[in-house]
Amino acid sequence: MSKNKELLWQSRFSLPFDRDALHYSSSVHVDKKLYHEDIKGSIAHVTMLAEEGIVSRDEAEQIITGLGEIEEELTSGALLPHWEDEDIHTVIENRLKEKIGATAGKLHSGRSRNDQVATDTRLYMRGQINELQEALHALLTVLVEKAETNCETIIFGYTHLQRAQPISAGHYYMAYFNMFNRDRQRLADLLKRVNISPLGAAAFAGSTLPLNPQRSAELLGFEDLFSNSIDAVSDRDIVIEFISACSMIMMHLSRFAEDLILWSSYEFGYLEISDAFATGSSLMPQKKNADIAELVRGKTGRVYGNLMAMLTIMKGLPLSYNRDMQEDKQPLFDSAETAVSSVRIFGKLLENTSLKKERLAKLTAEDLSLATEIAEYLVRKQIPFRDAHRITGKIVTWSLTSGVTLPNIPVETFREFSEAIEPDIYDCLKADVSVKSKKTHGSCSFDSVALQIREAKKTL
Ligand code: ARG
């Protein structure tokens, strides 16, 4: 049996930690991703220690130089983090000891891995929030472009996945704009709570050393400082909030994905996905599938799972730090990477889709989804809406049984249902007129969509 390396906390024990137990508890394979953040946090901490006279300038310099080299070694692969080192913090500290000897041990003055890992996590999240914001911005830009080029394209709007009323396709794209814009706002709000330094909370109770946590917070670009050391090391609310925000983004994407999948099917035939973003079948030569959209829809499930995992990990944990919290990284990393990559690829996919305008124009021209136009026409002729609705329902039934589409029903037939109907009925039985004549705030009319686009451009 090979001998364990010395663990940071080993001295109190008379037996070496069981190797299987160490293997089980090691998080190196997951948290090695945090090495940049860890080194950044250590450099800030030791800079502060030197400024406060807790370590000498010379010692701080040795530590900072060593940490810089270790960062390069980890990036180049010259140093491979090994599970025996328990976690990435220990990997780095042990390597520093190999490099500069006992002085390495001064880095940990007034710091515990509890505030260290909380700091690393916040730095990581700050980076991921920025990435996600950029990806969302790119997606919103594509949405505005799509809305602009399709402002006057008429599509069916749906409720219950049944054709409901004709709308501007731009209006549809702007609905998604609103959803992803809220996601951006959510992340911006979350960033305020993430951007708070926990460094200086030490294990959980603070330190007798004259630390200057304001200074290390400032060096790390945090906007604020923890106010309670117990909360500083125990709080994982931000992780839950972040995965929740990612879940919301994925939910929005998966709804959009579903529309693209349906609309690109032969049955709907509203939309073409570029060959560069479609997949085929290994057996059926004719197939053209929307796998990217399906994968986005599928990955949404994983992110929801991460949210449930994180809520469950934290449930019932006594204050303050507990080792359970080490399990936060896998769901956090997975959610961040899945959300960022999904938003990015979805923006590209969307750019590579086009609406089949001719087919849509043909389909929307004579469809029953114009029925609401007749009801509102009757209301304009002073018929109470409930009566107008009933009359129109009868007209729809007649259209269905006779096979005569609404715009082709003779005026005499219309008048058998209501004397209020006159030849001007045909003016409103056109999909584009229906869309154009919407008068209300935020409606699907071309003017309303143009206004939404102008406002959206201001926010971008
Ligand atoms: N690997 C640990 C984590 O990620 C670091 C903190 C360890 N603290 C402790 N008291 N064992 O949570």
Q: What percent of the chain has pLDDT over 70?
A: 99
Contact by Cβ (8 Å): 270, 360: yes
Q: Is the pLDDT of residue 110 over 70?
A: yes
Q: What H or E segment, with its residue span, contains residue 139? A: helix 113-149
Q: Give the architecture (CATH level 2) of 366-444+452-459.
A: Orthogonal Bundle (1.10)
Give 5's pLDDT tier (boundaries 50, 70, 90). Answer: confident
Residues 6 or more apart in contact with residue 451 via CB below 8 angstroms: none
Which residue is listed with tokens 């994925």? Answer: 250
Per domain, the residue ranges of the chain are 3-109, 114-357, 366-444+452-459
The mean per-residue pLDDT over the stretch 416-429 comes to 95
Identify any residues that bridge with 353 across adjacent strands, giving them in sequence order: 273
- Are the beta carbons of 373 and 298 closer than 8 angstroms? no
Q: What is the pLDDT at residue 100?
A: 97
Looking at every residue in the chain, the average pLDDT score rounds to: 96
Q: Does the C-beta of 117 come closer than 6 Å to ligand 1?
A: yes
What CATH number does the domain located at 3-109 have?
1.10.275.10
- pTM (2 decimals)? 0.94
Q: With bands split at pLDDT 50, 70 and 90, how would you rate the model's confidence at 1?
A: very low
What is the homologous superfamily of the domain 114-357 according to CATH? Fumarase/aspartase (Central domain) (1.20.200.10)
Atom index in ligand 1 nearest the CA of residue 325 equals 12
Read off the pLDDT of each residue in 215-240 and give the average, rounded to a whole number.
98
pLDDT of residue 280: 86
pLDDT at 3: 65
How many other CB atoms are found less than 10 A from the CB of residue 118? 26
pLDDT bracket for residue 240 (50, 70, 90): very high
Tokens of 12: 């109190």
Give yes or no for residue 97 having a pLDDT over 70: yes
Spatial contact of 365 and 430, defined as CB atoms under 8 Å apart: yes
Which one-letter amino acid corresponds to residue 303? Answer: V
Tell me, what's the pLDDT at 203? 97
| Closest residue CA from atom 7 of ligand 1 | 113
- Give the pair of three-digit tokens for residue 281: 């079948």
Q: What is the pLDDT of residues 48-91, one digit of tens each?
A: 999 999 999 999 999 999 999 999 999 999 999 999 999 999 99
Of 395, 367, 431, whose CA–CA distance to 153 is shortest? 431
Provide mean pLDDT across the span 431-458: 92
User: Cβ distance 270 to 355 under 8 Å?
Assistant: yes
- φ and ψ at 283, to 5 degrees? -115, -45
Which residues are identified as catalytic?
Answer: 160, 281
Nearest CA to ligand 1 atom 12: 326
Largest CA distance in the chain: 101
Is residue 38 within 6 Å of ligand 1 at its C-beta? no
Q: Residue 199: name the closest of 186, 189, 212 by CA.
A: 212
Q: Which of 17, 113, 310 to mutate to test the pocket of ligand 1 (most atoms within 8 A of CB)?
A: 113
Closest CA to 179 of 250, 131, 260: 250
Cβ-contact 298, 212 below 8 angstroms: no
Cα 15 to averaged position of ligand 1 atoms, centre (Å): 21
Burial class (CB in 10 A: 0-12, 13-18, 19+), 340: buried
Please say if the pLDDT value at position 2 is more than 70: no
- Span 4-21, average pLDDT: 85
Task: Say if residue 389's pLDDT is above 70.
Answer: yes
